[in-house]
Amino acid sequence: MVGVTAPASANPSQADGPETVDTVTLISGDQVAVREGTVRSVRAGAGRESITFSRFVADGRSHVIPSDAARLVASGRLDRRLFDITTLLEFGYDDARRDTVPLIVTRPAGRAAPRVVDATVSRELPSINGTAMAVTKTGAGDAWNALTSAGTMAAGVSAVWLDGQQQATLDRSAAQISAPAAWEAGYTGAGVTVAVLDTGVDQTHPDLADREVAEQNFTDSPDNVDRRGHGTHVASTVAGTGTRSGGRYRGIAPGASILDGKVLNDRGYGADSWIIAGMEWAAAQGADVVNMSLGGPDTTALDPTEQALAALTEEYGTLFVVAAGNAGPDNHTVGSPGSAPEALTVGAVERTDEVAEFSSRGPTERDGVIKPDVTAPGVDIVAALHSEGTTGPPVAEGYTAKSGTSMASPHVAGAAALLAEQRPDLTAAQLKAVLSASAEPHPAYGAFEQGAGRIDLARALEQTIVSEPAAVRVGTVAWPHDDDTPVSRTLTYRNLGEDQVTLDLTVAATGPDGVAAEVFSLSQNRITVPGHGEATVTITGDTDLGTLDGHYSGTVTATAGDSVTRTPVVVTREVESYDLTLNYTDEHGAPTSDYFTTLTGMDNGRWMYPYDEDGSATVRLPKGHYVADHVVYTEQGGHTNWIQQPGLVLDRDLTVDVDPATTRPISLTPPAEATLEFADIGVQLETATGILINSLSFADLSTVSTARIGDEPPGLGTNGWVNTSWLGADEASYRLVWFLDEFPTGFTRAVSRRELARVRSTIGRGALPDGSARVEWLPQPLTGYAYLLVPPTDVPRLPDTRTEYLTTDGVRWDPTLSLLSANGDPVATLRAVGGRDYRPGRTYHERFNDPVFGPVLPPTEFPWTWRNSDGIYVEIPMFADAAGNAGVSSTGQANTRLYVDDELVGETPRSASGYFTDLPAEPRTYRLTTQASRPAPFTMTTAVSAEWTFRSSQVDAPEFRPIELNVVRFLPELDANGTAPAGRPFLLPLELRDETGAAVRPRRLTVEVSYDEGSVWRRAPVSPGLVARLGHPAGASSVSLRVSATDQDGNTVTQTVTRAYLLR
């Protein structure tokens, strides 16, 4: 068989059936509709019609922020993930998969938990003064009013967080960290308790039998059973006995006891509140060490899991060992809670001690802390395979190999257990310090890649000198660097032993280019540390001695005979940077705190929300080009002023006054009495790092005004728009849209009907007897693509006729019809591929959803089927309507097969969809077959099949050539219900069209008809004009059609449609 891969094209795909719309209800009660990952519309919650919504898209991630949430998001009191639509979908928090919004609400110490209507409290989280609760989406608006008040937090509420999700961060490794030396010294972890917070632990595995002392399930899974296998693998690395392998796959601390806290469910995901509850339980149970091979993205905020880790470390003295994450090799990728300063955060190395490419790097997002702290083996780690055996192929009976910082972290947790057994008096901070001080750094990596380096247990057991802090961030020296002032930090050496120790100190570092750089100096090169005492030394970073901007990373090494203590050290020579000060005023010219700014770097794609409650926010940023979108709310939040600054070039210290008095109104007058249903103004910028989208949606033009600060820089690729939808008193829709080559700085238009196209649309009943539909008229510029918001129009009953008045100047319209079953599920989609170009003052008639449904190849920019190199790509809409609107549908059984000279070479389980590779280069005859069935509730085109033959040969890459295919279109005259009269003659016009959509004169064409769904077929005569003459028998209920055609080049097609239309 040749290779088969998933198709990729801009055309409608058959692979997943009809286009679906995901609805996400926000904590505010507002609803966001998303299609194929793109936000398409926003619907305000009940009583919130005056709210405006800011949409922001960068790096492919969409945010929708209501105006009464903006200030709270900017100030950090409201978790921005609550309005991160991409994240909410990734977490499975859309309405189809979850009917509640999970929250963590924190409060000041000593205050009672807030009472929130329509919310169920799942647990208290005392370590952060928090309450985990789930708010019903139907009652989200009321909960929002209970938690907030006029753009501020309600009394007794400190912050509201999304109860987000974290996931698992997926023989020789013990020797790599010198564990055998600890075993030979008699240390096994006996008397030490290690909590494994993970997917559960399989106690039936011989390596883990009798190791567990307590267990608790904090998830939505029914019990503590490890059905994922991750926790079992991790626990085995920490404390597995190796019994099943005769000791070969023994864990690092085989004598340690295990606390089994299941905080990740059977899918490998865990809510933040589950993880925090597990952390609290483990600490209260007396765990000396807690392993957390899990994490989620870090942010600039101090999130609840980071808060809990810090609080529990202080209260109980518990050491939390956390995986750094698998998002490397980029910087700033260490996940939370590994980003907490108190955590012992672990990166992964190969067997050669090289940092694994996947291992996350520092510094942390919030405060630039050096992370990870240490590294450990994390590639192809062999450990216990859980009893269900679903996590990977066994490498030996009862064992499997895994890679990730998840595998590195338990090596360090086990090492900490051995160290705690040896020296039970060590605090969590001292355990961390000993493992860091005794680590072995790799010379090719800096502190943000490896921390102190790969742990070394043999050294750790002998280590008596540690440094505080365990890693030193000396500071950042601001640009310019013509005369840098050295920066210093105090480094304290603590002696955990009884005898005084004299240390010889050296420091070595490399610059941003990896070349040695002598930027660090020490106040002393030799110090004496008394037994159980301390001594200090000052480390100074002088970036004036460097020549490159960036991080200078090195190690302070303290030696005393064979004893070595290493401390990672970093100083940053700031790249060319400047202060940006933003001053905000209200309508009276007074400073205001009611604003929201999104600041995006055009050179690096990073974005932020600068904010300060006094109305003046200062941020320091690298030199470069930025886009600032300022939104200032005036008139007590009743008016939204959007002021864009697309050409913010930061090449000096800059102050920007954001003044709503500079804005101009948005004013539109439709040609007839009409009510505004929806408005969306926006701008789309094409940058070096991707597409940046900002828009504002609202329902009252009088509440919004806009302005621009400065000129728009050339070459930005700006596409602005004013997009409105109105409902006329005569029930006609007025869709008034304008595309601009700049941000809309105020906009005024009075529109007459002669400027508009009148489109009369008829929607047939189609194949769903009790269905309904949604119509979406997507406006697009004549060139390119704009990501507008387009709320759909509900069509509750079919058939239906509608009238649209549409602007035409510079606008192409892409109508889409989504067909819904009786329970509202989308089951089919019809789309006018290529769009419609209408002329002003003219009337047009469009038809949708009329039989016969079947394959179509409408003209499009990219071919539906093509050959390139050794592959053939196929993506044919198999359920188009009679008007040729491309159609996709939910199906039952479906397949597509490709034959070369009657030999099957590829197959997919989809209708007319696939990419078949490794095909012969020479010209050969190919046969492509496809079939699909449609179960109830469909009553027409319940099955469709097609077979094509054609010749094809290799095409030199990167060129591609369309495949010469033809399709037959049936064009009967039917009533609005898709039926024809029984007991009478009937004419059936046909068309044969090629891959370009052009009409083809067939060499041969035959038509067969069946009135019993294909049991018996009879030939129908066909006129030279391609009209078949049928005789519908009395008593028949449906007509099935089969046609075979050959074109002038010998290409053939046979199509069969079961129940093509119905008889009455």
The residues assigned a catalytic role are 198, 230, 406
Q: Parallel, antiparallel, or unpaired for β 165-168 and 269-271?
A: antiparallel
Cite the beta strand spans of 943-1064 per DSSP E: 943-952, 961-962, 966-970, 979-980, 985-994, 1004-1010, 1018-1020, 1027-1031, 1038-1046, 1052-1063
Contact yes or no for 397/382 (Cβ under 8 A): no
Q: In one letter, which amino acid is 432?
A: K
Run of H or E including 627 = strand 624-634
Can you tell me the distance from the alpha carbon of 779 to that of 838, in angstroms, rounded to the nearest whole number? 12
Contact yes or no for 649/622 (Cβ under 8 A): no
Nearest CA among 603, 515, 516, 510 for reference residue 551 = 510
- The greatest distance separating any two alpha carbons of the chain, rounded to the nearest whole angstrom, comes to 111
Q: Which residues of 89-125 are buried (b: 16+ CB within 10 A; e: fewer)?
A: bebebbeeebebbbbbbbbeeeeebbebebbeebbeb
Can you tell me the distance from the alpha carbon of 521 to that of 173, in angstroms, rounded to the nearest whole number? 36
Range 1041-1044 contact pairs with CB under 8 angstroms and sequence separation of 24 or more: 1041/852, 1041/970, 1041/988, 1041/1007, 1041/1008, 1041/1009, 1041/1010, 1042/1007, 1042/1008, 1042/1009, 1042/1010, 1042/1017, 1043/968, 1043/970, 1043/990, 1043/1005, 1043/1006, 1043/1007, 1043/1008, 1044/1004, 1044/1005, 1044/1006
Contact yes or no for 584/592 (Cβ under 8 A): yes
What pairs with residue 691 in β-bridges? Answer: 686
Can you tell me the distance from the alpha carbon of 1051 to that of 717, in angstroms, rounded to the nearest whole number? 44
In 3-state terms, what secondary structure has residue 657?
A: strand
Contact yes or no for 28/43 (Cβ under 8 A): no
Nearest CA among 52, 349, 385, 362 for reference residue 202 = 385
Nearest CA among 821, 1057, 795, 846 for reference residue 938 = 821
Nearest CA among 881, 807, 806 for reference residue 847 = 881
Six token digits for residue 776: 């979406």
In 3-state terms, what secondary structure has residue 728?
A: strand
Residue carrying structure tokens 């085109």: 941
Contact yes or no for 157/113 (Cβ under 8 A): no
Q: HSE-up of 40 (CA within 13 Å, CB side)?
A: 20
3-state secondary structure 488-537: EEEEEEEECCCCCEEEEEEEEEECCCCCECCCEEECCCEEEECCCCEEEE
Can you tell me the distance from the alpha carbon of 96 to that of 93, in angstroms, rounded to the nearest whole number? 8
Instruction: Kindly report the number of other CB atoms within 10 A of residue 1058's CB atom.
Output: 20
